[in-house]
Structures are given as C-alpha cells and as structure tokens.
Amino acid sequence: MKKTRWTALTQSKSFEIGAPIGIFVGALLIWQLICVWANIPEYFLPTPLKIAETLVTYEEALLENGWQTLKTTVIGFAISVVFGVAVGAIIGNSKTLYNALYPLFIAFETVPKVAVVPILVLWFGIGTTPAIITAWIISFFPIVVNVSTGLATLEPEVVDVMRALKASKRQILFKVGIPNTLPYFFGALKISITLAFVGSVVAETVAANSGIGHLMLSAQANFDVPLMFAGMVVLAVEGLAMYTVFAVLEKRMTRWAFRN
C-alpha cells in the first residue's frame, strides 16, 4: 500500500512541478550556507543573495542586453530551422544524398564554432550579424540529423502498405513521413535552441557591442563576478523559457508518441 501511495505521489502533477523547485531551492540554500560558513570571497564565488541583489541593481542593463541576446538567438535559430528542415527532408528522402552529405556535416560539426567567429568578424564586422550566423550554424546540425533520421527510418512495412494502397511518394511523405519525423524534430528543436544561445553568447564576447556575452566580458574586465553570475542567470531563464515553449508544443503535437 505504501509503495502504491508513493508511486501515485511521484506520478502526480504537483510532484512533477514541485520536485524540481524543491531541489533548486535546496541547492541555493546549500550554496548560500557554504559561502557564508567557508567565508568565500565574492570575487571568487558570490552568494545567491548577492547575485539576486546584482540582478536588481543592474536590472536595466541586464534586461536590455538580455533582450538583444534573445533576439539574436531567435533569429539565428529560425534560420537554422528553415534550412535544417529543408536539407534534412532532402537527404532523408535520398539514400545517395544521405550517404554523400552526412560525413560532410559531421566534419563541419567537429570544427569548434568559436574558431569561425573571427572569420565572420572579418567578413561582416563587429555587430549583430556574426552572432546571428554563429547561432545559426551551431544549431543547424541537430535539426538536419533528426529530420533526416526521422524520414530515413520509416518502417518498410508501413511504406509497403501505403504503396499497396496506390499512395504516391508525396502522400507517403505527408501521411507517414512527416508524422514519424515530428518526435525527432521537436527533440532537435529543444537541443538546438540551447545551442543557439551558446553560439550567440560566444560571438557576443568576441564581436558585439551589446548582448549578455558582451556584458559579461565587460564585467570580467572590471572583476565584477556577481554581475557575471547575474548574466548567466538571465541566460538560464531565457534558455529554460524557450525550451519549455518547445516542450509544450511537442506534447500537444506528438501526444501519440508519449507512453503516459
């Protein structure tokens, strides 16, 4: 009976929401206590309370630069979705293209994107453009891979049945291929949006006059560690918010793919 009650509790909606919040609050409390007990200086590791104070003190700068980073990230991510879906659909429907292009994508993905930023600065100058392009290229690969994999892994039996019913390639794509790809696609979106933030911030630390990356670089130059942590908090909130949006869309559009 106890096991049944515990199982029911852990599977409840309130537990699903409350458990992460409880763990997060507990981690902050432990962090605060360790910093106070060990007398850790703020220039090494600020306390959560100090970071919260910094968030209030620099609210205007954080909001302004956070909005800039969010815009840059969303634009680069949107471009990667358009191109990623198109390229993934093309190579996912052609075994020849899949075998020919997949190794090239892997080779490009292994190149550290921070090495590309100086080249983008030479081409486009300092500003928003290098950050947008970096966000695009760093979030492009997961979308291509997942979309092409979803199309390339259609069950042969299902395709055979559709062909027996005289379905055209277009009908097979829209009736079977795309629905089969949706779980892969939304999985890619959740990964790619977080990578897009990484790309934007990396570029902002090198070639931008605004954005959280630029703000954190300025804070580093001034040895303002609490402000650097405050910048990371803003990035974490933005990334979590965007991830949640796609997670909700995923559950609504691919409800059939979930066990519960």
Please state, as a whole number, how many other Cβ atoms lie within 10 Å of the Cβ of residue 191: 18
Owning domain of residue 173: 47-254
pTM above 0.85, yes or no: no
Indicate the number of domains in the chain: 2
User: Do the domain assignments include residue 143?
Assistant: yes
pLDDT digits (tens, 9 = 90+) for 120-155: 888 888 888 889 999 999 998 889 888 888 777 766
Residue 161: its pLDDT value, please? 64
Of 90, 85, 93, the residue nearest 153 (C-alpha): 93
| Average pLDDT for the chain | 83
* Residue 101, token pair as written in the block: 């292009």
Asked if residue 127 and residue 108 are part of one domain, the reply reads yes
CATH number for the domain spanning 204: value is 1.10.3720.10
pLDDT digits (tens, 9 = 90+) for 95-124: 788 788 878 878 877 877 777 888 888 888
Write the DSSP symbol of residue 222.
T
121, 127, 128, 133 alpha-carbon torsion, rounded to 10°: 0
Asked if residue 84 and residue 6 are part of one domain, the reply reads no
Residue 162: its pLDDT value, please? 64
User: Do the domain assignments include residue 259?
Assistant: no
Is 190:108 a contact under the CB 8 Å cutoff? Answer: no
Is the pLDDT at 243 greater than 70, yes or no? yes
- Residues 148 and 10: their CA atoms lie apart, in Å, by 36
Q: Which of 70-79, 80-89, 127-136, 143-152 has the lowest mean pLDDT?
A: 143-152
User: Do the domain assignments include residue 137?
Assistant: yes
Asked if residue 55 and residue 29 are part of one domain, the reply reads no
